[in-house]
Structure 1
Amino acid sequence: MLQHPQVKGPGIGLLGFSKGGDLSLSMASFLKNITAVVTINGPVANTVIPLSYKDKIIPSLPINQQNIKDYDDNILDFSVVPSDPFQVPGNQSLIPIEKAEAHLLFIAGQDDHVINSEYFVTETCKHLQAQGKENFQILIYPGVGHCLDPPFFPLYPIGNHPVFQRRAVLGGELMAYSKAQVHAWPQIQAFFHKYLNDK
């Protein structure tokens, strides 16, 4: 990526949403030259499939399919399906983000019905603080579901679950979502400008 003519360098910024968030955190934990990472409603544990890097394998976070809630019209709520990566004894699925040298911006919606984003983010920040790390910021938005797009994108409180390929509650309230879009987008841009611009 650093050799791409449109990449300014000297470092790389990553923006990851949902599964892209845990991939971005994994890249920052294992690769050099990742300077800034923004994750939006992304888990801090590896999900879906095992992640392999050199001789390291991070298994996927176990899921509890029996916790799926079924609403009318066969619309499902998956918010409590992933296991709690901070409570599973001997859990190996947590991404070792304490190894990341990048600056991290965690964004979470309090009405996320795909993963418990707020809980993941707050527990991650406690973990980082316990490791003596200060390279992170956090933005939590009430009334925001799993999706948080740039300003003026429409709200989709129901959509297809990216893993289970079923109709799912994504969450979100229109006014809160719209306000969060307008607030978050310039915060993300300012974060990247601060940590990616070559001094």
Structure 2
Amino acid sequence: MKKSFFSLASAAAVGIATTHFIAPAQAAKIAGFQTLGSQMTGMQVTAHFQNGGSQNLTWASSDTQSGGVNGNGWSLNQSGDTFNSPWILNASQSLSSLIINAIPGNTVFDDGSHPSTEGSERGWSFDVLLGNLPTSFPYSHPIEISAGDLFGKLTLTWDRGFTGELKFLADTDTIVQAVPEATSVVGLLAFGVFGASSLMKRNSIRI
């Protein structure tokens, strides 16, 4: 009986935790449209290697204008406004794909399509300036408040692998992730516990 109650309470807690993590990204608001390389701290960048294995790194600022990641045999850096200043990818070992998850850095990609999300202004979609064009380069994880132009993730893939240098444009905007109000979280907790208690009582009656 106790086991059933605690299992239900745990399930309720898990549900609340899931809501807490999902809500911020969905409730994102545009905070700025001139995003610098130094302002994307926290982004997650994952490189997958042609010969197997991968490496995930966290984006960090290197000066007031720039930021990047430096891995084992590869690096990705960006300096200045992402609207017109290139990202630079270097790889001495062959990459099969590169995934940039911008959300953890309070950042989203703006592909420049219309209509434009209020506050995001004009964007610029992925555009290679120099180097080996990826086989595919889709944006994914659309942002809830977006008019269809904002995304949380950019994935570059090369069927035959990539080495060398790649310079590309990919505009980004800065977001503020709204945290659910405390009253909402408390309400969810109360509802979860109430539900668990109700089920416990029903089981007691059946016994």
Query: Under TM normalisation by the shorter chain, which class is it?
Result: under 0.3
Where relative contact order (Cα < 8 A, 6+ residues apart) is larger, the structure is 2
Which has more strand, going by share of residues? 2
Structure having the higher Rg: 2
TM (norm. structure 1) is: 0.25
